[in-house]
Copies of this chain bind each other. A is one copy, B any other.
């Protein structure tokens, strides 16, 4: 099931506040969804995600199909029980991952043939198989199997004709997904994905055809695939607000904090990205006043937390669990710098909590601003704060 209740729209932009109800609970939008590829958001306990206010997380169909495999997933009755996460889950279709296999896969009308990168088994991923796998995973939001149109292939920028062929294939696959999803009596919600590359007319054609199929929600795919920033912003400004106002809109794989704020203004309700978790492991930390490179030697003795105004467990030391001494402040930049230098696991554990908290808190602030009718002021303050430098 899926219910989308629009609570408020911003008069100065396409931004909206809504409540999305799924089989495993309610999600307040706009929302950022942490990515849990292999059934775990890298380096974070489920309880920490709950403390941080994560409402919905992602799983990757392709990865979970490879490991642990469908037999294990079936025996657990799906991904929720396996990974101990009882709030909503969204799974992708596996399309992006098989597409990323490059020369190792072969795309036809029927689907994608490829060799398992884990054990070499010859596998065939089709719209029907993707629906079958996602039904076993029992994710609250199932994504249609699509072809992610590349921005370029070895320097050759995808032409309009090529983008059309790809987009039309995705549309035919969308129909097959819908039929299989219905046949399987999947009780969750299937989203269609708008493709069309960087071409407005193709995006509009894709969107119109998908709207005709009447999905309970829509995603915008094929952005954040190597295109110049202005091309991405162009599509963000073009497509989301053209989608039906009474259904959720999900911008796949985006992005920086600035992209999220812009995306909300463009009418997007849902985002996912590996950036907060991956950057945490690489020592790039997000803060209200800009990004911090934890590996920089200037942090060697710095007693400050990552962001003195942040309330995450890494910065404040008290998120969700009471310490014995209550008022103790968080971990210092010097300590995090040291942990990174020594390759200690606690480093990425703490920085991942910080970065995810930053993203989730940013979306919370956006929702509060939308509720209060102050989103325009919020955007201005966000921009000047981030430009200040940390």
- Given A68-B334, A317-B84, A338-B67, decide whether A42 and B345 contact each other with a Cβ distance below 8 A: yes
Give A158 Cβ to nearest chain B Cβ, in Å. Answer: 33
Residues in B with CB closer than 8 Å to A337 are: 68
Q: Chain B residue with minimal CB distance to A322?
A: B47
Contact present for A84 and B331 (CB under 8 Å):
yes
Question: A325 near B: Cβ within 8 Å?
Answer: yes
Contact present for A86 and B335 (CB under 8 Å):
no
Contact present for B86 and A338 (CB under 8 Å):
no
- Could you jot down 28 A-B contacts, CB within 8 Å? A38-B344, A40-B344, A40-B345, A43-B345, A45-B313, A45-B349, A47-B313, A47-B321, A47-B323, A50-B323, A67-B341, A67-B342, A68-B337, A68-B341, A72-B334, A72-B338, A75-B301, A75-B303, A76-B334, A82-B332, A82-B334, A82-B335, A83-B335, A84-B317, A84-B330, A86-B328, A320-B321, A345-B348
| Contact among B43, B323, B331 for A346, CB-based, below 8 A | B43
Residues in B with CB closer than 8 Å to A324 are: 50, 86
Question: A339 near B: Cβ within 8 Å?
Answer: yes
| Contact among B39, B84, B321, B346 for A321, CB-based, below 8 A | B321
Distance A345 CA – B332 CA, assembled complex (angstroms): 22
Question: A273 near B: Cβ within 8 Å?
Answer: no
Residues in B with CB closer than 8 Å to A342 are: 38, 67
Question: A44 near B: Cβ within 8 Å?
Answer: yes
Q: Mark A43-83, 1 if CB is under 8 A from B, else 0.
A: 11101001100000000000000011001100110000011
Residues in B with CB closer than 8 Å to A335 are: 39, 82-84
Q: Chain B residue with minimal CB distance to A50?
A: B324
Residues in B with CB closer than 8 Å to A350 are: 45
Residues in B with CB closer than 8 Å to A84 are: 317, 328, 330-331, 335
Give A368 Cβ to nearest chain B Cβ, in Å. Answer: 22
Give A59 Cβ to nearest chain B Cβ, in Å. Answer: 12
Q: Mark A306-340, 1 if CB is under 8 A from B, else 0.
A: 00000001000100110111001011101101110
Distance A307 CA – B256 CA, assembled complex (angstroms): 42
Residues in B with CB closer than 8 Å to A42 are: 344-346
- Given A325-B86, A332-B82, decide whether A68 and B345 contact each other with a Cβ distance below 8 A: no
Contact present for A301 and B72 (CB under 8 Å):
yes
Residues in B with CB closer than 8 Å to A67 are: 338, 341-342
Question: A176 near B: Cβ within 8 Å?
Answer: no
Interface hits, A17-49 → B, CB 8 Å: 38-40, 42-45, 47
Residues in B with CB closer than 8 Å to A303 are: 75-76
Question: A300 near B: Cβ within 8 Å?
Answer: yes
